[in-house]
A and B are shown apart, each in its own frame.
Chain A
């Protein structure tokens, strides 16, 4: 296990380095001079050169990267051009909101998806299987930002049951677990849960069908084990992979929450990204992407390690 742990960490480190290089270069692939957004349009050539020196843009790229990475490691992700506040502060407020939304969506998606997938795999070929497969196809094919709009139309515009946007009366800073706030969470979380639901259902269906076709299941049945006993064995065998898929989905939702957060004006990292794009606030864009991508790399690593702990077969592979 320790060997596997070390192997996995030494694999993640160069990837994390690469990810940081890509994020660093984002500002440099952007058209135009990165200084234009901070300088007045009529700035003199002398002032421009001076600013270039202060910001370090006159140095070679690798040196710039080194300075940027050192600062980033210390938690300094630069300053947002639009608000003038440190990017890290803006992110700190947003990340909790996104995490709350993504974790809830993953849980809903995982529970419903495993249920559909399990039933479909258990009764393979039956109408229940066809229905469950149909639902999971819908889940992976629906443009979720549109689904969010449709849910708003039904539950906010037509029925007036739930709020369409925002995070509650206190805004993003005063979240409490009471109905006034939770009702703001329902529509975005349900919308977001559709993606992992479809994917988990597909995975679990394939897993269950595969496990049921293996000899040890026939052996268990021959031994006289009832359906419930067989069920226990199937769950035990399917769980590590299903949990790994769930972990990865959480990562995808964290990184991909921008569309849903835009639809619902949910004050998370995705909403922040949307603002950064709208205002061409490159430091904010860069910092947010860096943090989300590194989060994803770390989560991937944790998922692999947990899976290896649950299922020793993974370690040998």
Chain B
């Protein structure tokens, strides 16, 4: 091959769309995933701009207008057991519910990936020690581990976040370890090693790009579980404490009202459901957009 031809070939490689832009293109053609993405973005915007979106103060209670039905003038979604505006509380609730649901997965993504990639790349005794420890935490059903930890630590936002993060590190680390072990055996990693690259460089240049995609997709599939679990902790009186608006906690405090205003009491669950379905559909869309290698 002449020098000019090889330069042209390199230019062509540079111009050809990367893997991730291909994924984005495929994702954009998936109507279900796009709707889910729109809902997720709307929820995030709602959480950020809650003070401007919410019609009322979510904390202001009133003994004379408790448990009003849906459609009450001024309170379109009724009022809760302390007379606070449901619509405003649901809007503000997105803040803590999203934070408690998404944050643990993000932190666990970084910590779990670091543990799994280290175990997979270094192998040997390091792998055994790390992965056997992970196995112990993986041996707990996720709900049980979350409740064990936050039950012992006590209620509170930080304790809830900490417990959920610990719950999601083992599954992510397991996936990261198995993907990395697979990549380590591919020839170009051997070639990089033979050419004298250090372990850190190999991980950064050759391994990370190949393993982070599958780990990321797996992590996104955990967000919906995490949301349900996070609100579940608050529902049990762990996690977020009153009077903060949080969907799971709202479900808990409204539980006694199901004989008075059943549909108002069920509203916070609708929000959890919509959020969790959207994250699930988005994750599914991402998965199929990434699996198509053609």
User: Chain A contacts of B135 at CB under 8 A?
Assistant: 15, 18
Given contacts A15-B136, A18-B135, A152-B258, contact A285 B152 (CB under 8 A): yes
> Which of A62-70, A103-111, A238-246, A249-257 forms contacts with chain B?
A249-257
Task: Decide if the interface of chain B is mainly helix, strand, loop or mixed.
Answer: helix
In the complex, A6 Cα to B258 Cα: how many Å?
53
A26 interface residue (CB < 8 Å to B): yes
With CB as the reference atom, state the residue of chain B lying closest to A296: B141
Query: Per-residue CB proximity of B233-270 to A under 8 Å, as 1/0?
Result: 00111100000000010010001001100110110111
Closest to A257 in B: B143
Q: Are B153 and A146 neighbours in the complex by a CB distance under 8 Å?
A: no
B139 touches A277 (CB 8 A): no
Q: Are B143 and A145 in contact (CB under 8 A)?
A: no
Contact B237 A293, beta carbon cutoff 8 Å: no
Q: Within 8 Å of chain A (Cβ to Cβ): is B193?
A: no
A138-B277, A251-B141 known; A146+B236 contact, CB < 8 A: no
**Whole-angstrom distance between the alpha carbons of A297 and B153 in the complex?**
24
Are B269 and A19 in contact (CB-based, < 8 A)? no
Asked if B284 and A23 make an inter-chain contact with CB atoms under 8 angstroms apart, the answer reads no
Known: A26-B148, A26-B152, A289-B144. A300 touches B139 (CB 8 A): yes
A292 at the B interface (CB under 8 A): yes
Closest chain B residue to A22, Cβ basis: B136
Q: Is A162 an interface residue (CB 8 A)?
A: no
Minimum CB–CB distance for B216 against chain A, Å: 19
Q: Is B280 an interface residue (CB 8 A)?
A: yes
Asked if A19 and B142 sit within 8 Å, CB to CB, the answer is: no
A140 within 8 A of B: yes
CB contact under 8 A between A292 and B265, given known A138-B277, A262-B236, A300-B139 = no
A216 and B270 alpha carbons, distance in the complex (Å): 46
In the complex, which residues of chain A have a beta carbon less than 8 angstroms from the beta carbon of B236? 258-259, 262, 274, 277
Closest CB-CB distance, B86 to chain A, in whole Å? 15
Chain A contacts with B in 135-167, Cβ cutoff 8 A: 137-138, 140-147, 149-150, 152-153, 157-158
A141–B224 CB distance below 8 A = yes
B105 is an interface residue with CB less than 8 A from chain A: no
Q: Which of A224-271 contact B (CB under 8 A)?
A: 251-252, 254-256, 258-259, 262-263
CB-nearest residue of chain B to A282: B152
The distance from the CB of B178 to the nearest CB of chain A, in whole angstroms, is 13
Please, how many angstroms separate the alpha-carbon atoms of A22 and B143 in the complex?
15
Determine the interface band of chain A, counting residues with CB < 8 A from chain B: 35 or more
Query: Roughly how many angstroms separate A297 CA and B276 CA in the complex, as a whole number?
Result: 29
Contacts of A146 in B (CB 8 A): 251, 266, 268-270, 272-273
- Judge whether A179 is part of the interface by a CB distance below 8 angstroms: no
Residues of A within 8 A of B137 (CB): 22
What DSSP secondary structure best describes chain A's contact surface? helix
Return chain B residues, CB-CB under 8 Å to A147: 269
Bound CA–CA A260/B152 (angstroms): 20
Residue of chain A at shortest CB distance from B259: A157
Q: Measured between alpha carbons, how far is A145 from B258 in the docked complex, in Å?
A: 14
- Given A15-B135, A23-B148, verify A149-B140 contact (CB < 8 Å): no
Q: Is the CB of A149 within 8 A of B153?
A: no
Asked if A158 and B232 sit within 8 Å, CB to CB, the answer is no
Q: Say whether A276 faces chain B, with CB atoms less than 8 Å apart.
A: yes
Interface size on B, residues (CB 8 A): 45
Judged by a CB distance under 8 angstroms, whether A91 is at the interface is no
Whether A31 sits at the interface, judged by CB under 8 Å, is yes
- B-contacting residues, A271-303, CB 8 Å: 273-274, 276-278, 280, 282, 285, 289, 292-293, 296-297, 300
Whether A153 touches B262, Cβ cut-off 8 Å, given contacts A143-B273, A252-B141, is yes
- Tell me the minimal C-beta distance from A95 to chain B in angstroms: 14
Which residues of the partner chain A approach B139 to less than 8 Å between Cβ atoms? 15-16, 18-19, 293, 296-297, 300
> Known interface pairs A138-B277, A143-B269. Does A19 touch B144 (Cβ–Cβ under 8 Å)?
no
In the complex, whether A112 has a CB less than 8 A from a CB of chain B is no
- In the complex, the chain A residue whose C-beta lies closest to that of B156 is A31
- B contact residues around A158 at 8 Å (CB): 262
Known contacts: A30-B154, A255-B141, A256-B143. The answer to whether A141 contacts B255 by CB under 8 A is: no
Is the pair B143, A153 in contact by a Cβ cutoff of 8 Å? Answer: no
B153 A30 Cβ-Cβ under 8 A? yes
Q: A27 and B152: CB pair below 8 A?
A: yes
Q: What's the nearest-Cβ distance from chain B to residue A29, in Å?
A: 5
B133 at the interface (CB under 8 A from A): yes
Alpha-carbon distance between A292 and B151 when the two chains are bound, in angstroms: 15
Q: Which of A256, A276, A285, A297 has the most B CB atoms < 10 Å from its CB?
A: A256
Residues of A within 8 A of B228 (CB): 141, 143-144
A296 to B145, CA, bound (A): 12
Q: Are B235 and A285 in contact, with the CB atoms below 8 A?
A: no
Q: Does B88 contact A (CB under 8 A)?
A: no
B258 touching A29 by the CB < 8 A rule? no
Q: Contact: B141 with A256, CB < 8 Å?
A: yes
A282 to B148, CA, bound (A): 10
- Known A18-B139, A137-B284, A259-B236: A153·B148 in contact at CB below 8 Å: no
Residue pair B141, A18 in contact (C-beta under 8 Å): no
A14, A142, A144, A285: the one contacting B151 at CB < 8 Å is A285
Of chain A, the residue at the smallest CB distance from B277 is: A141
Task: Point out the residues of chain B lying under 8 angstroms from A285, CB to CB.
Answer: 148, 151-152
Q: Is the CB of A273 within 8 A of B147?
A: yes
5 A-B residue pairs with Cβ-Cβ distance under 8 Å, sorted by A, are: A15-B139, A141-B224, A254-B141, A277-B151, A280-B154
The list of the 5 closest CB pairs from A to B, nearest first, reads A146-B269, A18-B136, A255-B141, A256-B143, A255-B144
